[in-house]
Amino acid sequence: MNVLQKLASPGLKTLSRNGLVRHSSHFVYQPDGKPPVEGPTQKMNMFQAINQAMDIALEQNDSALVFGEDVAFGGVFRCSMGLQKKYGKHRVFNTPLCEQGIAGFAIGVANTGAQAIAEMQFADYIFPAFDQIVNEAAKYRYRSGNLYDCGSLTFRAPCGAVGHGACYHSQSPEAYFAHTPGLKVVVPRGPNKAKGLLLACVKDSDPCIVFEPKTLYRAAVEEVPVAAFESPIGKADVLRTGTDITLVGWGTQIHVLQEVANMAKTQLDVSCEVIDLVSILPWDKETICNSVKKTGRVLIAHEAPLTNGFGAELAATIQEECFLHLESPVLRVTGWDTPFPHVFEPFYIPDKHRCLAGIRKLINY
């Protein structure tokens, strides 16, 4: 294979100065085995599935609004392509570059009964809106004695590693919001989950945040039902059954763990149960604990830093609920306690090699 052939090969990007080929991602996407509901399907990537979900929401409810920075022409990831042309500038529109203002406006229109779908251009930029989301949206029902609420309020936010995002375009901030009663937080692993979760969030009675792994927008492709459907919030998915160890992740990381499960079986003869948590808040304690009680070992992997990452909550609960069933300590394989790096991203993310080393450590404990 010559240089040009290498450059043209699928899954490969560019040659560096030393002649080595850089792989385009740290995971191999694993599509769902079958669509979540019966009926006609269409092959879509994740941003197309999200676009269709917003299209359905706008069509089904005349009060539904889609807004955010640059969404009028489709947004930086093209998720809202064509929606303004179809539904008009009064329902799909750009906002100023002010996340706090986007959140405040979203809370206001949701309180009037409208369905608000607000886009934060990157999850890294959601922090200026933090006060509005955790102190206003999340508490509105409680502080009004259930007279008012922010139901039908959904924030979409692209998150996670993308290969070149560095510290302002790669973060995974789900744990910050998981500490806030009154919110719901979900992370899809692909097109079907993205569509189903977004439609469920739009109709939910509490404000929701959908963190969308941006590297999956184009890399994730599945057969997606054309009709509207909802994926349950608060329910984890067991993607692979096993007997020796439980692997728990969400978003992009679930594809890393599925590849790791294959490697563990081939190299170590270890049977892994792979669970996609799907929902960060609320999270499915029953499914996780039942699996750990069966396998006796658990590895939790996420891209966010180790300290106070959401894996810590899982680990604490597993220790409380499954202590007498554990054959080894709960192990977390995560990002490091540093800002998200640029050129050192391959060393930061919990890739298959780090996760496999974790499995080996648990089995040999």
Domains of the chain: 41-225 (3.40.50.970), 237-364 (3.40.50.920)
The pair of structure tokens assigned to 288 is 């996780």
Decide if pLDDT at 203 tops 60. yes
pLDDT at residue 269, as a whole number = 98
- What would the mean pLDDT of 232-255 be, rounded to a whole number? 98
Q: CA-to-CA distance for 34 and 224, rounded, in angstroms?
A: 9
SS3 141: helix
The pLDDT of residue 13 is above 60: no
Q: Write out the catalytic residue numbers.
A: 99, 169
Which tens digits make up the pLDDT trace of 32-50? 989 999 999 999 999 999 9
Helices of type H across the chain: 3-8, 46-60, 83-87, 99-111, 130-131, 140-143, 174-178, 191-203, 216-219, 253-268, 285-295, 310-322, 345-348, 352-363
pLDDT at 316: 98
In this predicted model, what pLDDT tens digit does every residue of 114-163 receive, in sequence order? 999 999 999 999 999 999 999 999 999 999 999 988 889 999 999 999 98
At residue 321, the pLDDT reads 98
* pLDDT band at residue 267 using 50, 70 and 90 as cut-offs: very high
- Distance (Å, whole) CA 226 – CA 252: 24
For range 174-190, the mean pLDDT: 98
d(CA 76, CA 70): 7
pLDDT given at position 25: 76
The residue type found at 227 is A
Residue 243 CB-half CA count within 13 A: 3
Give the 3-state secondary structure of 69-84: CCHHHCCCCCCCCCHH
Residue 146: partners with Cβ closer than 8 Å, 6 or more residues away: none
pLDDT reading at 223 higher than 80 = yes
C-alpha closest to that of 313 among 269, 272, 283: 283
Q: pLDDT at position 24, please?
A: 55
Is pLDDT of 8 > 60? no
The whole-number average pLDDT for the span 259-282 is 98
CB-side neighbour CA atoms (13 Å) of 296: 12
Q: CA gyration radius for the chain?
A: 21
Structure tokens at 358: 């974790």
Q: Please, what is the Cα angle at 213 between 212 and 216, to 5 degrees?
A: 115
Both tokens of residue 55? 């299209």
First to last CA, the chain: 44
Give 25 or 328, the one with higher predicted confidence. 328
pLDDT band at 15 (very low <50, low <70, confident <90, very high): very low
Q: Return mean pLDDT, the chain.
A: 93
How many residues are listed for the chain in this entry?
365
